[in-house]
Amino acid sequence: MNPPPVPMEKSESWPGATLLIYGTFGKNTPEGLRYHRRCTAALLALVAGLILGSLLPSGPARILPAILPGAAFTFIAWAFRRYLLELDELARGIQMEAITWTYLTGLAAAMLLAGFASVYHWGEINKISNFYWFILLEPVRGFWLYIISRRY
């Protein structure tokens, strides 16, 4: 007996524009909408805080705009982790591979710039900051490798 005809469906791919612009799979799913809302709230709070901070006189109150960028991006990092955990396995794999490649690209770009900066004397600040990327990123990666490997 022949199997029933297989319904042909439009081959709907991942949302390329949303991936390129927002780095997510869009707002059509509850987790996507939640992540976008959290990022928007964090960025609005960051901008509002920075504007407010520029109006504040010198004094202890200026600690608030000082910690705001770090706090906002810590919140975004937490929201992104939640978002990753709510994705299905393939979507999560795609995000994780993208992060891996971003990291590797960052390393290569930093060392490329550092090489040119050191040979052509682009200035001590540039040279130090570009090498610093590498010095900073490697222990961070080692730290996360350790933490993540404990789960398995």
Site for other proteins, rule CB under 8 A: 3-7, 9, 11-14, 25, 29, 88-91
Considering beta carbons, is residue 29 or 118 the nearer one to other proteins?
29
Considering beta carbons, is residue 26 or 53 the nearer one to other proteins?
26
Considering beta carbons, is residue 12 or 60 the nearer one to other proteins?
12
Q: What six digits make up the tokens of 15?
A: 């949302």
Q: Residue 15 Cβ, how far from other proteins at the closest point, in Å? A: 9
CA 7 to chain centre: 39
Q: Residue 76 Cβ, how far from other proteins at the closest point, in Å? A: 23
CA 37 to chain centre: 16
What is the secondary structure of 10-61 as a DSSP string?
Answer: ------HHHHHHHSSS-SSSHHHHHHHHHHHHHHHHHHHHHHHHHHSPSSGG
Please say whether the beta carbons of 64 and 50 come within 8 A: no
Considering beta carbons, is residue 76 or 91 the nearer one to other proteins?
91
Q: State the DSSP H helix or E strand holding residue 85, giving kind and residue range, or none if neither.
A: helix 63-86
Q: Residue 13 Cβ, how far from other proteins at the closest point, in Å? A: 7
Q: Residue 87 Cβ, how far from other proteins at the closest point, in Å? A: 8
